[in-house]
Structure 1
Amino acid sequence: MEFGAIALALMAAFTGAALYINLVEHPARRGLLDGEMLAQWQASYPRAYRMQASLAVGGFFFGLLAAYWAGKALFVTGALFSIANWVVTYRFIMPVNRQLTAADPDTADAATRALLEKWNLLHAIRTGLGLLAVICFFAAL
């Protein structure tokens, strides 16, 4: 299989998972009480993090391989959008993640809910970066 197609598949999976979180999982959490909402996020986050982190790294790696073999700049651009997810996560989302991970569901309140909403908005940036990577990889193919 061609490296570009692998990069596209990985980032399509990443983007689909990210979009699912933004449009399905997080809105479903909104129907829960503050503490339940936080507890659900705390249970879901480690699994989603591992899955999405590996997909983003894979998209970056295979995007660079595709750029090397095909000589197309769009593969490099897609790879950069893929790895930009790590940058955005560590620079902007991780401080929120640490607060939410350390929070106690028994004492969660409206401020906790607001922090979860902020997290969802920040996560939407990741969804957008994934979509941009998919568009680049698709166009390069």
Structure 2
Amino acid sequence: MEFGAIALAIMAAFTGAALYINIVEHPARRVFLDADMLAQWQRSYPRARRMQEYLVMAGFFFGMVGLLWTGKGLYLTGSLFTCAIWVVTRKWIMPLNTTLMATNAEDADAGIRALLEKWNILHVVRTGLGFLAVLSFFAAL
């Protein structure tokens, strides 16, 4: 079994989902008033979080199994990019998520909109790391 191909497929799914959020979902939110923008994000976030965290964990796992199975260093590189997604999320995105989830949508203002824009920029970083993991896993194959 080619574990690297599984890691590639999983991280391609993650990257596609992350890219969708960056180029479709978040830009669509921008047309809303502040309260509605936050309310839509709050409804979307829990489902997206679960989906993406499982994809990242599985991508890392199968990348490491691919490394052990084949000894190709690019699987380690891809796994490290995958791990970096987790680091960026825990260090910079989760504090924003906590603030955004704790804010009552009716209390949203321009400051909340600015936090959502900052969240999107950090999400672009996650998307880029996912893309680098995909490239690494693809090159290892």
TM-score by length of 2: 0.98
Superposition deviation, residue 2 in structure 1: 1.0
3-state SS in 1 of match to 2:96: helix
In structure 1, what is the equivalent of residue 100 of structure 2? 100
Name structure 2 gaps, 5 residues minimum: none
- The letter of the residue matching 1:33 is L
Name structure 1 gaps, 5 residues minimum: none
In structure 1, what is the equivalent of residue 27 of structure 2? 27
In structure 2, what is the equivalent of residue 80 of structure 1? 80
Superposition deviation, residue 38 in structure 1: 0.1
In structure 2, what is the equivalent of residue 131 of structure 1? 131
Percent identity at matched positions?
Answer: 67
2: CA distance, partners of 1:123 / 1:100: 15
- The letter of the residue matching 2:111 is A
How many residues end up aligned between the 2 structures?
141
TM-score by length of 1: 0.98
3-state SS in 2 of match to 1:97: helix
Give the alignment of 1:45-56 within 5 angstroms: 45-56=45-56
Superposition deviation, residue 122 in structure 1: 0.6
**Is structure 2 residue 112 aligned with structure 1 residue 112?**
yes
2: CA distance, partners of 1:55 / 1:63: 12
Superposition deviation, residue 83 in structure 1: 1.6
- The letter of the residue matching 1:40 is Q
Superposition deviation, residue 65 in structure 1: 0.3
3-state SS in 2 of match to 1:32: coil
**RMSD after superposition:** 0.6
- The letter of the residue matching 2:96 is V
